[in-house]
Amino acid sequence: MKMFNKIYLNALNPLSLFLALHLFSVTTQAQATNLDAEAQKNWLPAKLETSNIQTDGYRWVFEITPNKQAQTFSVKLLNPHPSLTPLNKRSTDIAQSLQYEDIQNFILREERYQQEAMQRELKQQESKQPTQSASAKEDKPTEKKTAPSIDQVYFSVKFSQNYGYEKRKPNFNETKNYVARLCTTKTEQQSSSLINDQQRTFKIELNWQLSSEGKIVAMQISPPIHDQEFLNKLNIDIKNVKFNSINYNGVPITYRAQQPVDYICPKPSRLESMAKFIPF
């Protein structure tokens, strides 16, 4: 069956699917494995990926064991799903794509944080003890505890049927502020054709080609914009934009997304010298 892999990010319905994907409905237990004392574990940032397969909120949990000498790590899936084999494989691929440097930096931060927390707790305990003479304090060596080293960390993967931005939606502040200046500049004094005395609003549509990791690899603007300063500002606005990666039946796919953006000059009676941006 032909897949168009296209989503449309509409201003009123932010993440509406441009065309329907086939959904697989599977009845599962809420979680195959009950992991005890999760709060005591060291969790790497979780990964959320879009999939056409329905998972009922299932979470794939991995045990990550770094090898400092080889600067590699091993991955163990603790709770493979009993029937969603494609997502067992896909989640394992995601876990194996982690970077050793990121894991090691996370461990160092956690060990430092736990050490500092332990020392703060020790100082609080000492402050609650009865006051001792100066000679007694000198005779008693200062107690110093060391937090245990972290040999393993944990990582989780979930699959959602929602499409959209991975972290946050772009606010287009750079282009918004640029258009605001155009709105308060006389037509004869500006070189841009985006805003003039007769045209106080304009709309663009961003057409993005995305990699299987959700990164922008190509962009087309409709209608074409020839204002180079506006384009420079737009590049800043979308510099860190990233979408959720998508898999179809457990296989990563590339896809396209569209985002409309409206810019409207404020009415002359308004005191704010700021162009209005219609949010998603």
Q: Which of 31, 22, 26 is nearest to 4 (CA)?
A: 22
**pLDDT per residue as tens digits for the range 213-243:** 999 999 999 999 999 999 999 999 999 899 9
Residue 279 has a pLDDT of 40
Residue 144 has a pLDDT of 64
What is the average per-residue pLDDT within 128-157? 72
Q: Detail the DSSP E strand segments found in 105-254.
A: 153-160, 201-210, 216-222, 246-248, 251-253
Q: Which of 133, 127, 112, 116 is nearest to 42 (CA)?
A: 112
Task: Give the C-alpha separation, 219 to 222, whole Å.
Answer: 10
Residue 133 has a pLDDT of 56
What is the average per-residue pLDDT within 43-51? 96
What is the average per-residue pLDDT within 138-153? 72
Residue 117 has a pLDDT of 83
What is the average per-residue pLDDT within 25-34? 37
Average pLDDT, the chain: 80
Higher pLDDT, 37 or 32: 37
Q: Which of 236, 221, 233 is nearest to 180 (CA)?
A: 233
3-state secondary structure of 82: coil
3-state secondary structure of 163: coil
**pLDDT per residue as tens digits for the range 172-192:** 999 999 999 998 886 566 667
Higher pLDDT, 109 or 143: 109
Residue 13 has a pLDDT of 31
DSSP per position, 19-60: SPPP-B-----S-SS--TTGGGS-BPPPEEEEESB--TT-EE
Residue 52 has a pLDDT of 96
Residue 187 has a pLDDT of 59
Task: Give the C-alpha separation, 280 to 278, whole Å.
Answer: 7
Residue 195 has a pLDDT of 86
Higher pLDDT, 132 or 203: 203
